[in-house]
Chains A and B, each alone.
Chain A
Amino acid sequence: MLEALIALGGLLISAEFWQAAIRSAAPISAAAAGEAVTEKTGVLNIGIEGMMLMSAFCAVWGSGATGSAWGGLAIGMLCGGIIAAFHAFVVLWLKADQILSGVAINLAALGSSTYLSRMVMGEDPKPVPSFETFALPLLGKIPFIGKLFFEYHALVYLLYFLTALIAWALFRTHYGLRLRAVGENPQTVANAGYSVLSLRAAAVVFGGLMAGIAGAAYALGNVSYFTENMTAGVGFVALALVIVARWNPIWLIPVGLIFGGGQALALRGQTVNLNVPFEWLMALPYILTLVVYFIVSGKRNAAPAMLGKELT
């Protein structure tokens, strides 16, 4: 028991653990930041999981087809955007149920990514070009700090940068103000002469693009192949993290580390002798998310006023 605790302590202060945590948190934070923008306009997108899964597949396929990981990223992003545009069409134009549309997107993505990966890649897929981890020159040489901050693949920096950029744009630009106003009081925005519909549509498609990048990062950053249902509920975790971060993308960076840390523990915990079954470690990220969600919820409600309301 004591030995296991010491092993756990050693793991928690090691640079490798935090590196893994920061790396696995990056796609979740970015996807959640996109979702935060969508939800700020009052539209709910449950389909973020499906968008990530489908773009993960498209990114792997695109990476193989174009021969470059960046090509895969672009195709994955496009895929997320297209699915989000469909969601926007169904929800904003036809005024259909937001939750059902999201559920259908999740189901369709699960089915078609599995179907297509069987048809296109066959039983044993070949690895495709992916984003390689590299240490930045000079900075990467600093002991501990270098490993912690300067030894990732390019997408990790990009994703964190985008998350911070979204936070800035949402709270410090006029366009961001309009987006937030749509979620609080659409009538005011309409009276000010802006189109509620196009602002919302833009936010939904933007959320899809972010989910697309995140899905591509999930497939091409950590591994270089696609497996069935490889996102395994990460999209739903992102939904929870948006609430935990109170719809502020900047808070998603530390909050993402909760789930990222859980995943890192599942990953790195197998290398040291923790004396805990592997399956418990795998369940840990989800338990952590639930517990943190439980702790922060129930206080003052920070949700956009129009979130989940029927769109008119």
Chain B
Amino acid sequence: MKNAQLAATLSSIILALMTGAVILALSGFNPWASYINLLEGATGFDFSGGSRFFRIPSRLGATLNECGPLLFAALAVAIPWRLGWVNLGGEGQMIMGAAAATFTALAMEDIAGPFALLMALLAAAAMGAFWSTLAAWMRIQKGMNEIITTIMLNFIAFWIIAWLVHGPMRDMESGMGHPWTRPVPDDSQLPLLGGKLRFHAGLLLAPLAAVGIWIWHTYRVSGFQSQVIGRSAQAARFAGFPVAQLERKAMAIGGGCAGLGGACALLGVQFRLSEEVAFGYGFTGLTIALAARSHPLLIIPCAFFFSTLRTGAERMEFSAGIPQALAVILQALVLFFLLIALAPQWSRWWRERQTRLAALAAAPTEKGAADA
């Protein structure tokens, strides 16, 4: 990423936060106190000058836990993006992945343990990949727009899960009346790490995946080929690259990542499958991927920032009554400012100005030459 793009990303985030402050002030909240509240809620730090600065470590853990699924959701957007595909179906793929993970973990209840966990993760990745490959197949075979198909698949996935948790998989004994499944057994959950912080192993899994994707993109031939497809599919076809195969592969890996993200959210935090398992992850993942310009390594800090925003906003609604939807607004604002900052028209105007200035500077000398 070039310096200009990095500057654009950072200034978009700052501008979005400032606009958010204006929104908060207009709706009658103190912006500064609200943001402090958000930060306290997301990190567990205590900024009021109390005796202990790091008051509630588990809140930082909650933010870190959010990081894993968000990172996966961002990868699900970023990988197909390299080929010029817009995968808006991250949410549906996560939902299906989470469902597959739950199903596997519950089916292997008798042999709960690391093996069951591994199988659950694999099942989630396979299911997510299947769900995104559907969209890939529809586009490659029939030329259907992947934006529309992935969104439709999101809704279909949502209602499938709604049916599962209200019907066949509903926990009737210990469900306390909620529409959700039985919890996955303790031994099949992602192991808790980090002592007091209490974050789970998904936090390690996701960056590993991101690094793997980065290596693929940077050092493998197929990574280069997919970039060529993104720049010009025609050139890629002319060069004889297996375009359809690479496209299918990218969508499958993206969907697999989303499925793993769903499994992370489920096996690491929620434990019971419910309708809200991946609520809003899809679009947050998109924002992260775009803010990082789809660079697999830059996605990592971006995911951390947006998970801070998400968990902080959640706590903020709890403690100060500020609607959580503020986090969504801030995400949209980051996207808007980024879009405007990176619009190609600015550089075009700049070039035109340079040409004009150069022409003005050149004109008198020409005149002088003509006189002489």
Contacts and interface: CB of A to CB of B under 8 A. Distances in A.
A287 B156 contact: yes
Interface in B235-253: none
A99 B155 contact: no
A210 B155 CA distance: 24
B54 interface: no
Interface in A264-297: 277-280, 282-283, 286-287, 289-290, 293-294, 297
Contact of B144 (A95, A110, A282, A293): A293
A13 interface: no
Contact of B323 (A95, A119, A243): A119
B333 to A, nearest CB: 7
Nearest to B150: A236
Q: How extensive is the interface on chain A, given as a class?
A: 35 or more
B316 to A, nearest CB: 12
B319 to A, nearest CB: 15
Interface stretch (B184-192, B213-221, B341-349): B341-349
B148 A239 contact: yes
B276 to A, nearest CB: 13
Interface in B144-158: 144-145, 147-149, 151-156
A111 B332 contact: yes
Contacts, number: 141
Contacts of B332: 104-105, 107-108, 110-112
B27 interface: yes
A93 B344 CA distance: 10
B141 interface: yes
Nearest to B134: A290
Interface string B333-372: 1011001101111101000000000000000000000000
Main secondary structure of the interface of A (DSSP, over half): helix
B17 interface: no
B167 A279 contact: yes
B152 A236 contact: yes
Interface of A: 46, 90, 93-97, 99-101, 103-108, 110-112, 114-115, 118-119, 232-233, 236-237, 239-240, 243, 277-280, 282-283, 286-287, 289-290, 293-294, 297-298, 301
29 contacts: A90-B340, A95-B345, A96-B339, A96-B343, A96-B345, A103-B286, A105-B332, A107-B283, A107-B287, A107-B335, A110-B325, A115-B27, A118-B323, A232-B155, A233-B151, A233-B154, A236-B148, A239-B147, A243-B148, A277-B163, A279-B162, A279-B163, A279-B166, A279-B167, A282-B162, A286-B152, A290-B138, A293-B144, A294-B138
